[in-house]
Structure 1
Amino acid sequence: MTLARRALPRWFGVGALACAATLSTTAGATPSRWAMARSQATFDAEMTRQAAEEELLAHRAQRRSSFEDPILRVDSHAPRAAEIIEKAGPKVLDDWYVRMLLARAYHEGERWLEASKVFESVLTDGRTPDVFRADALAELAIDYARLNRQDDEIEAYELALALEPHTSSRATMLANQAEAFMVKGDTSRAIAGYRASLEALTSYDAPVLAPTTYWSLGVALDRSGDLEDALDSISRARSYDPHDVRIGADTWFFVPAYDENYYEALGEWLVARRSPDTEVRLGAYERAEIAWKQYLGRAPDDDHYAPVARARLRLLEKEFAEFAKRARTPTPIDPRRPASNALKSLPTPKRRP
């Protein structure tokens, strides 16, 4: 989820289609065979639902596979799901669940504005059950984040949290809402939100959700002036995910996009300070310096966190210079220390008469 704006990365699709095979039944929306036989509109709506669900399920399956193997390409299942529903006509679109599927198809197809409008229509439909409202609100919040509408995003998460009972979904919502506070420059509420998210995690959820939350907490702590605790938080994130796979996945995005440089700078700084290898530390210091400069070069003048980034760059440059000087200076021999056994074994040179 990242903030500022978006410095914090987000997860896509909270709870979306987790049990899609039973969604219509759960909603009490699956018509009987007799109802479909009596009404062409009912039949058309059910066929549209089934076809769109199949495409969205295929899309989700591909996304999971691409996370495990980034070389795999995600096919056009989401656009096909949207096309199926769009062609169905207005009578079919009167069904709140069909509109929910359409909104998800737009969302997965990165059509954020269209997705937000359809999700809003689902939420204003009195026939939509609460369990689907929670999902719709959570996904709508991500669309708002993409549209840079932080106030609407925060409110959507607040409403979703009032409806969502599952701890993993609540933890994700709390972390994402904290991202929105970060983007607005409210680091205190962002830190509180990240910590609430981490407290809500079970041991089962933590390996998946804790890495990105600890990362974002680290950034928020640094932006509040606490560099040491910030690096400790990133270190905890890497205890779960040593290679930063989660935060580099396509389920995570930065708002604003240049915030990725802030995350990179802190991550490299952690290596520069704590790696046991001198050459690794020198390389990490160099990369951290580049990342800070990239952040400042891309950030606008009114960026909330540019002053902090400038201060961090000055501190890092000082550290880098001092460490590089020590690394290039040979360790002097202490004449008070006894010679090594190797030196003692050397023959004493003879003087010429």
Structure 2
Amino acid sequence: MTELFGTDVPVVLGPFGGVSSVELTAAVSDGGGLGSYGLYGYGADAIRNTAAELKKATAKPFALNLWIPTGDEATSLPQPDFDHYVGTLKPYFDELGLPLPLMPDRYLPDYDEQVEATLEAGPAVVSFVFGVPAPELVEAAHRRGIVVVGTATTVAEAVALEAGGVDAVVASGMESGGHRVSFLKPAEESLIGTFALVPQVVDAVGIPVIAAGGIADRRGYTAARALGAEAVQVGSAFLATRESAAVPAYRAILHSPAARETVLTRALSGRLARGIPNRIIAELSERAIAPFPVQNWLTGRFRPEAAAQGNTELMSLWAGQATPLIRHDSAADVLAELLAGSPAL
């Protein structure tokens, strides 16, 4: 895996949608791993600017991550429906002192434009979630010398990704924080634990496998490698570091007893995701919510302000089930902890 990525150690930073930072991505890459940056919601210009910042921050390989459209996204809503969903969220806008949003022309940037900008940026690796990248996209990446990584939550998805020509696959267990990136079956029907999923995927495909979910220390690293994973992908432990874009209140919760409990919810985005329960999840779970990506766009109009105010009750607190194992607050220390484990039993 280190040969494939051009890295020194087989550790990958999980890409975060909305809380990726140049500083953390560069810190992981400079530490010998593969730093990753999530591009959810980024238009072409933002992608180019971010890639330029990353190349200034580190000379080491890094990955850029894209969400593949699944075809079930709500690209538009009738105005009365939009107004209804805004009305449901009005108390939160009022609480934070924000005006209600107007219906946008679009809820997400154009995917083809995102792909074009990402390939032009020339990262060492481009990774994908929510599907198999198109053959012509994989070919275009390979022509540029870019490694392509897909993400699977089931064995069938891993097999489909290998057939699609990707160079490596992330086996993402249900313990993972953030969105469940299933694409062949509903996410609720694809909840396989990391340490059951990884060896099955290793047996089913001939490409390198990266284990993700429930890995926060040397024990998880050792277990994943013993099961056949050639690398590990770690999210929450890095998210809790001072280099991440998570605000101090968010990082404090990741280091607190509150992180012992996580739930799967569609409340904040319209898609199933794992996070630490708070008031907004509890309240929205009892109401009709907008489909993805409308719900994600709507709550995204107030979640940044909640973060700025340190109001963790109105934020998305994505976190994995191994978050209580977090002991470090710097990327270098997290890397050192992971690599203190045996590469295999």
Q: Considering the TM-score relative to the shorter chain, is it more than 0.5?
A: no
The structure where helix makes up a greater share of residues is 1
TM-score (norm: length of structure 1): 0.26
Q: Which has the larger radius of gyration?
A: 1
The structure where strand makes up a greater share of residues is 2
